[in-house]
Amino acid sequence: MPYLYGFNINSIQSYIFQTGKLKEIIGGSELVDYICKDGFQKMLGDRFSKEKLVQSAAGRVRYLFDNKNDLQDFVRDLPIKISKQLPGVSFSQAAVELASEMTYNDWSKLEKRLEIQKNIPTTPHNPGLMIAERSQRTGGALYKTVSGEEVDEAQFAKIKASTSDNTLFDKFIENASDQKDAFAKEFEDLLSPDQQSGWLAVVHADGNSLGKLIQQLILELSKNKPDQLTAFLRAFSETLDQATCNAVKIAFEQVVSPVYEQEQKKEKTFLNEKAFFPLRPIILGGDDLTLIIRGSLAMEFTSNYLKRFEEQTKLLFSPLAQKYGLEDLHQGLSACAGISYIKYNYPLHYATDLSESLCKHAKAEAKKLNDIQVPTCLAFHKVQSSFVENYEDLIDGELSIPKENRQFNYGPYFLQKFEGYDTIDQLNYWVKQIKRKDAPRSNLREWLTELKINSGSAAQLMTRIRQVSHKYEQRLPLHEPFPIERTQKDKKGEEVKKSYTPIFDIITLSSIK
């Protein structure tokens, strides 16, 4: 009897961002990408067949085994093989016996079993004796000393993998191996060469309602074309991966490459003797994208990527839609993104958690507008406090005036205009205006501060700003600084009308250099 097998790497970002060293982060991302592609194939050896590979991307593998013996052997040996290639990683594996062809119920049953397995901790390999020396940055058992630093086994594997062929760059840069010297190896390499300090951004983007769409497509094919389901899922996975990589490639060529080429022409810089690409991919596969980028480029790159993701999924899914008779695929996919702006020495794991939280917030707001065809949007936040992980906590703590039901979290911002929200283009226009020399930037900062102290004096100050900078009354939201009202639920579950201002976001984004 055939079996549908599933393998998931749990908490990918936690594994990758376990330490604050860019080399180890790079190595972790390379290991995750490798294990789900070439690594999985090598672990299967002669038993591997591309026709049986259903899905392989972003820490997920789905594979068809012909018989129980092969499956049992693989499942039994996998923990040892994983511990050698990805020491310290947590993973789940499960399988479902198939009656004949795979069905919707089989797929759903496998996903449920994987969720159950996720709650069972992976037995650590080589945890070390209590008396053993420990890595100061991770607490893991000392494995080796690298460049004078004691590291554990997982750190060593990541450091070693960071010197590999950089397969993530291969996905969107032609002849990437010829440009290895241009790949940033330290966080400082991502900064502008003319600055000794600056802002970085962690970007996390994710497709909208992908799980729901896959379930619908599997259900439809299970009823109408069950013999084609496996081939379709393999083609869908490969096509989605290609669409994501194409979108990154276009955004990279249009936003990042021109900056790199311009900086290449400079003879000498403050921090470096040479130029580096101001971007480093961390996760790139399926519909998932996580990367670190120079702060000044993050908004332009992310908005460009989101546009291209819509275009590429619509373009590449059309042949699949025609071949398998799936109308839902013709429209392609949308995506949401979160951007957390940080200083280069800020702990990366906090920034990635915040980016995920921002992306989740953007999705929640977008689903209020259309839960079926979720529109594309993004949310962002500039970190100026010690440690921030959850955006909802930030809204309650830093971005609201509870007594007056006023909010500073004006976003998310959409590709297209929706009632009660503004577009990314509109935000960029406002930022361009506020950066003019005669714009009332400092006065608006003062107004934001005064809002939390005394709303009456803040209103008088805004009147004065409009009088002094009257030509900006149409260029910036000065006439009505709280132009939008939205109904939100408070902590008691009661609906409350809150008014929102974009001025905080405008000032924030204009300060990113």
**Residues 344, 403 within the same domain:** no
Is residue 179 assigned to a domain? no
**Are both 441 and 309 inside the same structural domain?**
no
308/164 Cα distance (integer angstroms): 29
364 lies in some domain: no
Range scoring the smallest mean pLDDT among 46-55, 186-195, 279-288, 433-442: 186-195
Closest listed residue to residue 502, CA positions, set 486, 480, 469: 480
Residues 108 and 210 reside in one and the same domain: no
- The domain in which residue 107 lies consists of 1-127+158-163
State the amino acid at position 457 in one-letter form.
Answer: S
Domain-terminating residue out of 331, 348, 365:
348
DSSP 90-117: EEEEEEEE-SSS--HHHHHHHHHHHHHH
pLDDT 10s digits, 203-253: 999 999 998 898 899 988 888 888 898 899 999 999 999 999 999 999 999
Task: Assess if residue 355 is contained within a domain.
Answer: no
Q: At what angle do helices 455-468 and 441-451 cross, to 10 degrees?
A: 170
Same domain? 331 vs 477: no
Flag whether 66 is in a domain: yes
Q: Is residue 479 part of a domain?
A: yes
Chain CA centroid to CA 104, Å: 29
Single-letter amino acid, residue 356 = E
Can you name the residues that pair with 90 across neighbouring β-strands? 10
Q: What tens digit of pLDDT does each residue of 325-375 get? A: 888 888 899 999 999 999 988 888 889 999 999 999 999 999 999 998 999
- Residue 358 belongs to a domain: no
Q: Are residues 214 and 342 in the same domain?
A: yes
Task: Tell me which of 317, 332, 348 is where a domain ends.
Answer: 348
Q: Is residue 315 part of a domain?
A: yes
Taking CA atoms, 116 is separated from 209, 264, 403, in Å, by 22, 51, 44
Write the DSSP string, 1-30: --EEEEEEEESHHHHHTSSS-HHHHHHHHH
Statement to judge: residues 497 and 407 lie in one domain: yes
412 preceded by cis ω (within 30°)?
Answer: yes
- What strands, in cross-sheet order, belong to the sheet with 335-343? 279-285, 288-294, 199-207, 335-343, 377-382, 413-414
Domain count for the chain: 3
Residue 460 placed within a domain: yes
The reply to whether 121 and 230 lie within a common domain is: no
Tokens matching residue 238: 């490969």
Measured CA distances, 138 to 25, 95, 323, 350 (Å): 13, 33, 50, 15
CB within 8 Å of 370: residues ≥ 6 apart: none
pLDDT at residue number 136? 60
Q: Using one digit for the tens of pLDDT, what is the confidence trace for 22-41? A: 888 988 888 888 888 888 99
